Structure 1
Amino acid sequence: MNKKKVVNVFMGVLALLLIVGMAYQFTPNLGDLFARKETGTPALTVNGTRVTVEELENVRRSNPILSSTDTGVLGDDFKTYIVAQKIEQALVTGAVKDIKVSRGDVNTKVTEVREQNDLTDNKKWTDALQGAGLTDATYREQVRQQIAIERKVEELKKAVPAPTDAELRAYYDLNPERFQTDARIQGRQIVVADKAKAAALLTQLKGGADFAELAGANSTEFKDRGGALGPVENGVPRPVAQVALPSEVGAAAFALTTGGLTDVVESGGKFYIVKVEKYLPPAPKPFAEAKTDLTTAVQEQKQNAALEAWVTALKKDVKVEYQDINWKVENPTVATVGGQDIPYSEVVGQVVSNQQFAGLLQQVPAEQAAGLVNGILKPQVTQQLIQSYAAPALAERLKLNLTGTRQELAAALAAYGSRNVKASDADIAAFYAQNKAQFETPGSASVNEASFKDQAKAVAFRGSFAGGNFTAAATKAGGTVSERGSVTAGSGTLSEELNAAVFTAKTLKDAGEGSLTDVVKVGERFSVLYVADLKPATTQPLSAVRGQIETQVLAQKKSEAGQKFVDAQVATLKPKDNLKTVLAAQEKRVAAQTPKTPAKEEGAENGTGSTGGTTPAEGGAPAEGTEGTPATPATEGAEGTTDPATPAER
């Protein structure tokens, strides 16, 4: 039985841990989720709860990032992260050990799991448990703990008071885009089964024919109401949202923000023409209309904050005792703001969960990745953590009725700082001018190429071919024909010379149902291309994309203004960023722990005189005044000493 089936049983538990703030960024082996094995090599105890070396190694092996290296700066980071996660896990499971869970509740859950995973057969069940390193008894203990955590979380959520009107109003004012009606149009359509008929009707409409009359006489849909998209009320069609139309038709119609006719649009074997009589842009819902959704969103934020506060309180007075010196970690304060210490393990946790970091590890050696992470990613993460830790104090000082976790409060502060930002007509026009290419639809055509060794033969063929079977004629003239098929300008299907001859040259020669390019020299040969169904490039006018641009420009301006506001507010708290000091101390510690290689051998092998210690790229040069930085109190002392928690553990 594949171990994955059993591991999947606990995916819900993993999600639960994420909810309560335990940032597991991997799926550990089943036996590692909750069980505290009675056997194994002791590594550390958390408030008396034992964590074994085997459990820690399980966490490392179960995640490709954490298992990618156990040496150097990244190896030291990963060890810090693993230990911090196991400490949090032990705290949560310890906090719910007194919650009563009956044997019947456990049996019900186990039976449900076995049935859902086709493990009702006792042998299959036993094999699956053994594959995950479990017994039935240890698995049932994990289930008991799972149920206990679920009940604790529900208890915490139920204790959260209902949102006040002031909290709802604050959320409504700072998140207007979340409470808007959809864009709608008032309009009519003509739907026919024949493309030629649709084209003829469009010609009549452009000539001034009455749309409702043509729809009543020709449309296969809504002809009884003159093609009106919605029921007619007081002489005008009721507005409809874009979902009321086929996707291609809706896209074309809703691009007409100033009204007008679409071209003939094909969808599902039918041909549509839509007349937009009035475009109704998205608009904010009134507060009363949005109140139900507001209450749900704010209540969820308040519950998130309660769970975060619970886990934070569990860490406050934690005592960690190390039995295995190899798993004793440094977890110093990386920053301080508003009287709160931020542990280095939180920086590492965000690095581990960063997708770009995961990609980086696949591309470069660990020591090179460490240099890039220390120089770029960790400083960014540290600043983000400073802002989130500062957010509660700032929201209180500004007397804002904000709710949520630290990160949610930081986002709300940014929204508050950018609440009055607008996108002007000049901003929109400038963006359109600078990014016109993204609103272009490139030209396309069906292309066949005839290639000749002799230029004169190519010129003669071009002059003589006036239509008919291009392949036969070119072959008879001594050319080699290649069917290029449907080609989009600039796609790379054609060489630059051929692409220019088809899509930018003004010298195409009519030849029956298509046209011929000039003779084009390609390498040592000469080509003539037969072009059919040529569609020139088109550019959407500003009026058609104004709404899209306004949304994009406004988001960018709000982001910049919000960040500037938060930066200014955080600065008033005079935060202290210790990252450089922490990294310099880590570099010295890792170098001291790295076995020394004789300089001669190292130089002969790598062309350097390195001693094998951590390079400056991994941590940068030690910051001024950091040489000889002492160890943090939590990690000093002899093996087995019981110490108060470091700031990170608190």
Structure 2
Amino acid sequence: MTEENKQNEELQSQDAIESNSIATEEPKEKPKSSGSGALGWVVSAALLVILILVATLSYAGDDKGENVASVNGVAITEKQLYDALLLIKGGGQNGQQKMSEVTLDDLINVELMNQELQKQGLVVAEADIDKELDALKKAYGLDDEKLKQTLAQSGMTVADLRPDLEKQAKLRKLLSSKATVTDKDIQDYYDQNKESFSTPEQVRASHILVKTKEEADAILKQLKDGADFATIAKEKSLDTGTKDAGGDLNYFGKGQMDPAFEKAAFELKVGETSQPVQSAYGFHIIKVTDHKQAASPTFEEKKEDIKNILMMSKINELAQPFIEELKSKAKIENSLVKEDKQEGAAATEEPAASTPKEEATTTTN
């Protein structure tokens, strides 16, 4: 396997199995997704904060305490700021003031963007949001289940993601006319990243892990008599990382699992169940549910995906300067900045007031 693009690692879901895992170790490299490279748009440092915070703007117009800022007369309240801060981890007490200022600035940016969208009469339909979701899944090689697992690691659901995707769709409409992608750009990207588009041979399997061969034999008999594999996995498997999912391990390539387990899994046909397989963790009954051969997509197969990757990469590059331009034309009031300036002025005056005392002390001595 080749080294993965760093940007792709941020959303790439984890396949390692917890506790009684049959994986020899968490792979240093994971199978490639169908796209990588310039697609940093979902987790772009500046945009991610903006997109996550956008949900808090739904409070505008309600009684939510004192206003902490306003953008062209539209208030941002203490409640909005508080809710936004709850979404951000870390910082500690020493960094709370700075974090509040940064977060409020992000809320101001979001409001600026919303007003510009309204000004231009841009409307995003549910179909547009679905397209953004499909593009995200395709770019990272995620099916619906894998996406759910990835989001769950951050305490999110697909429903939580939709407001972010809606903003992404609107941002695309705002800036796509300024972002151009040529056929040469697409061809160059394909040539430079061809290897990353390739996927190795993979199987998708479920397993039931038990301690002894006797237990495994008894389970195998139950399965032959018509028992449901997933139900037994939930009831009896010792693998706490997969039992609740009916033993599903999702897709894995060669070199990721215990050698004996891997050999058995790759030799099974789709739908077949193995004899008991012994590993360092116990005995496994394995069922293969899918088998994908190694694949290298052609340029034509990847052309639209690459175009989307490059388009969103360019839009992201334009986003921050675009927001700064909106800021320069807007009437913005920010109470936290005023407080900061007042505190800074007070701190500057204090040393000046103490100077005569210091001089007097020096003279006395």
TM-score range, shorter chain: 0.3 to 0.5
Q: Which protein has the bigger strand share? A: 1
Q: Which protein has the bigger helix share? A: 2
RCO higher in structure (CA 8 A, sep ≥6): 2
TM-score, structure 2 as length reference? 0.38
TM-score, structure 1 as length reference? 0.25
Rg (Cα) greater in structure: 1
